[in-house]
Amino acid sequence: MSSDAPDMADADIVDVNLTNFQRDVIDASQRRPVLVDFWAPWCQPCQALAPRLEALALTYAGRIRLARINSDDNPELARRFQVRGIPNVKAFSGGVVVDEFTGVLPERDLREFIDALLPSPAQPAYEQAQAALTRGEAERALTLHDEALEIDPAFEPASLGRIESLIALVRLEEAQAALDALPFQQRDRARIGTLYARIAIARRQPDGVPEDFQLRITRNPGDLAARLAWSAALATEEDFEGAMEQALEVVRRDRSFDNDAGRRALLDLFALLGSSHERVRHYRRELAAVLNQ
């Protein structure tokens, strides 16, 4: 494998070892993605992949950097990044590994791998759309998300943002259809799971305000339909602890009510808030205790 690149490519293709790894990979990845190619002189697949990577580093002209690491000469780096086979290419961005592959890929797949690391030209429109959504301007947000997708139809954040706009507009059937139609390989699985949960919660949203359902429960604590309605109304107002408490109370009183609706409401709230949320951990334990009685 050649260790020299033309002078004009010095910034884009570099040989890296333990001494310069921090500067030429970690620090450099704060400014642009860095592809780190772990290779060895005896590795024939490495020899096949190297010229493809080098050509693409030149083609992308400053948008990415290719850093080459001889794994035989730098076993510490290979161990640190758990290189199990070569050629192994790890993509660094913001100082951390964000993606990787092992083996030889055709140019088309290499381009897809690289393109996924680069900012989309639709990013500005997407950011404007999300800002509009934050301000409560859901119609404006939907228009801007559509504009972002016209610029880059494959830009996943805009696809998901568009669904968020539809949910905000209570166009739930359209949101569900758009979510179901997403390609299987979409990367942001956590955000997708949250959107499914938001749709499920929105479908349960009843007419009325939380106080209406609270009054019904005061009059009849066993009105489980009112408790579920209160839970959904509280979730809409972002009182998630109150929403989880009411859903849990439904499970406590009748775990089979309305086809296990209390437990399903809790699971949707867990998905919406994320497993690391402190109150989610608490209510998971509470739910488990009730179900194990």
**Contacts of 271 by beta carbon, 8 Å cutoff, 6+ apart:** 193, 194, 196, 197
- Find out whether 50 and 39 touch, Cβ atoms under 8 Å: yes
How far is residue 207's CA from residue 165's CA, in Å, rounded to a whole number? 21
Answer yes or no: 226 catalytic: no
Q: Is the dihedral of CA 161, 100, 64, 31 positive or negative?
A: positive
Q: In what order do the strands lie in the sheet with 13-15?
A: 13-15, 65-70, 34-39, 88-93, 96-102
In the set 14, 16, 34, 46, the catalytic residue is: 46
CA-wise closest residue to 111 among 69, 168, 63, 56? 56
Is 43 a catalytic site residue?
A: yes
Q: Which of 9, 79, 82, 85 is nearest to 40 (CA)?
A: 85
Question: Catalytic: which of 36, 43, 67, 138?
Answer: 43
Beta strands in 21-150 (DSSP E): 34-39, 65-70, 88-93, 96-102
Residues classed as catalytic = 43, 46
